[in-house]
């Protein structure tokens, strides 16, 4: 038995349709309850990493283990949120958040599921919008609802693929703090893929840097800023130095 929650061992993924080797020799180890981020140049295989973790695709070589079990297909203990909130326009906010309960087998009653969803919506500031349709919500509000939907079934692993990239700077930082607070309160294992180096440094305890395609891990940074982190830390010398080092490594990886 190992104390690592996620283990990616010498994984490669080759897409046969266009004979594209997306990742090769990919190795990662992530502890339970930790918050990790993955950064790298465009096209380095970050989205492929998300897919193999969620079981949407199988590695060509190597293996992926979560909680000591090999991932062989879609996982019901994984919550996912993407850059596009993908809200169903004909469903109200609460109905959108409840979708995981309709897909996954749960022992809870419908009443309990609704209570859990409303509780989360209140935490992220959407308590007054449970009966609103997506077109009545701002982009930031839709992304809050998307986070609630990813977390409502209490997944062991939260996978985030550029969840705040389409938002303005102020809304993005506001949602960093929302995610920070949710993670501190619930300690679900989190893996964030992002191009925003400030986002990675503010949220994560560990940052993995990937090479250009075929992607693999070239650098790992342990982020030692204490929790609960305030946005003021982003102006500190240590924080700026960390983001500069990340930028330099990614730039070197592109060449």
Q: Where are the domains of the chain?
A: 1-77+159-164+190-255, 78-155
106/115 Cα distance (integer angstroms): 14
72/162 Cα distance (integer angstroms): 25
Other beta carbons within 10 angstroms of residue 66's beta carbon come to: 23
pLDDT of residue 20: 87
pLDDT of residue 235: 96
Predicted TM-score of the model (pTM): 0.91
Report the pLDDT averaged over residues 180-206.
Answer: 94
Mean pLDDT of the chain: 90
Q: Locate all alpha helices (DSSP H) within the chain, ordered by sequence.
A: 46-54, 93-97, 99-103, 110-123, 139-151, 169-186, 197-203, 237-254
* Reported confidence tier of residue 106, pLDDT bands at 50, 70, 90: low
- Give the homologous superfamily in CATH for domain 1-77+159-164+190-255: P-loop containing nucleotide triphosphate hydrolases (3.40.50.300)
pLDDT above 50 (res 210): yes
- Residue of 176, 148, 165, 168 lying closest to 35 (CA atoms): 176
Q: Which helix (H) or strand (E) holds 4?
A: strand 4-15
pLDDT above 60 (res 1): no
* Reported confidence tier of residue 255, pLDDT bands at 50, 70, 90: low
């Amino acid at each position: 038995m190992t104390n690592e929650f996620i283990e990616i061992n010498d994984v490669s993924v080759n897409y046969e349709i266009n004979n594209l080797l997306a990742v090769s020799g990919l190795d990662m180890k992530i502890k339970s309850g930790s918050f990790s981020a993955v950064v790298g140049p465009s096209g380095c295989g970050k989205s492929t990493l998300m897919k193999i973790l969620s079981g949407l695709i199988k590695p060509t070589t190597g293996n992926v283990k979560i909680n000591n079990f090999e991932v062989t297909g879609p996982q019901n203990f994984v919550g996912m949120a993407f850059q596009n909130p993908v809200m169903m326009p004909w469903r109200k906010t609460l109905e959108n958040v409840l979708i995981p309960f309709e897909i996954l087998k749960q022992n809870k009653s419908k009443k309990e599921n609704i209570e859990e969803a409303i509780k989360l919506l209140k935490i992220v500031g959407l308590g007054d919008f449970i009966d609103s349709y997506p077109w009545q919500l701002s982009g930031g509000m839709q992304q809050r609802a998307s986070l609630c939907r990813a977390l409502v079934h209490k997944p062991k692993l939260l996978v985030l693929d550029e969840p705040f990239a389409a938002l303005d700077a102020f809304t993005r930082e506001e949602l960093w703090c929302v995610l920070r607070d949710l993670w501190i309160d619930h300690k679900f294992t989190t893996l964030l893929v992002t191009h925003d180096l400030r986002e990675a440094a503010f949220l994560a305890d560990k940052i993995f840097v990937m090479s250009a395609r075929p992607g693999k891990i070239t650098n790992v940074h342990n982020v030692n800023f204490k929790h609960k982190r305030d946005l003021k830390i982003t102006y500190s010398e240590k924080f700026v130095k960390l983001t500069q080092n990340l930028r330099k490594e990614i730039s070197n990886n592109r060449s």
